[in-house]
Amino acid sequence: MANTKVIAVVAAAVILILAVTAYASSYMSDFANVQNPPQDEFETISLKGVPILGSANASVTIIEIGDYQCPACKLWFDNTRQDIIENYIDTGKANLVFIDMPFIGNDSISAAEATYCANDQGMYWDYHVKLYQFQQHENDGWANTDRLNAIAFDLGLDTEKFNECMSSKKYFSQVSFNKQKASVDFGANSTPTFVIVNTSGNIDHILGPHPYSTFEKVLDSML
């Protein structure tokens, strides 16, 4: 069942609505919404089909913009992410979404596509975690087709369905769409970039792999 969360952020006469929907509508319908936005004083931009980690009813959403080959993203994954999950996501205070911004190389794009192929079998976040656990050097082949297939096998996915999904480039358009939104709509020009919003319309940004204490301060101010 799709989970949808809408967060309205009012800033400089612009309303940014992030609709986070797990297993939701197609990329093409979202792309049409962005290409033909309403022409009034408020511009409405929606992003759907993004898996959500945590409760859809949480009052704070952490939007992580990253690349699976990004060393700084792995640094945050290794040193900060788990504390946030334990203290904010598992407690229902916040949730997390990941927006792909694959810029390091072709394997970055393939890795991002693989997470959505895993999502077809209900294992987006499991695959997401494995990618950062197995990350090695940039563009050294650690995220090539064989390795991505091996991760799928290791997670117990139906590898035939996974391989068919990857071969068909089923999610290439969605990953490209996410990359565009990360840079154009969220203003990200490096990874990791974090956009933190709450249901009251407050918004903050954190650039880079900051320690838990930085996130704790921002998140507590938004609760």
**Is the dihedral angle over the CA atoms 168, 171, 175, 181 positive or is it negative?**
positive
Kindly list the domain boundaries of the chain, sorted by start residue: 53-222
Question: Does residue 136 or residue 39 have the better pLDDT?
Answer: 136
Predicted TM-score (pTM) above 0.75: yes
Question: Does residue 76 or residue 185 have the better pLDDT?
Answer: 76
With vertex at residue 158, the alpha carbon angle to CA 163 and CA 170, rounded to the nearest 5 degrees, is 40
pLDDT per position as a tens digit, 16-70:
333 333 323 333 333 333 333 333 322 323 455 689 999 999 999 999 999 999 9
**53-222 homologous superfamily:** Glutaredoxin (3.40.30.10)
Helix (H) or strand (E) holding 198: strand 193-198
Is the distance from CB of 51 to CB of 126 less than 8 angstroms? no
Q: What percent of the residues of the chain are helix, what percent strand, and what percent coil, each to the nearest 5? A: 45, 20, 35
Q: Is 157 helix (H, G, I), strand (E, B) or coil?
A: coil
**How far is Cα 83 from Cα 79, in angstroms, rounded to an integer?**
8
Amino acid at 62: I
> Would the pLDDT of 90 be above 70?
yes
Q: Is 215 helix (H, G, I), strand (E, B) or coil?
A: helix
- Average pLDDT, integer, range 110-132: 98
Average pLDDT in the chain? 83
Is the distance from CB of 151 to CB of 131 less than 8 angstroms? yes
pLDDT per position as a tens digit, 147-198:
999 999 999 999 999 999 999 999 999 999 999 999 998 899 999 999 999 9
**Percentage of the chain lying above the pLDDT 70 cut:** 78
Q: What pLDDT score was predicted for residue 68?
A: 98
Q: Which two tokens stand for residue 187?
A: 């203003």
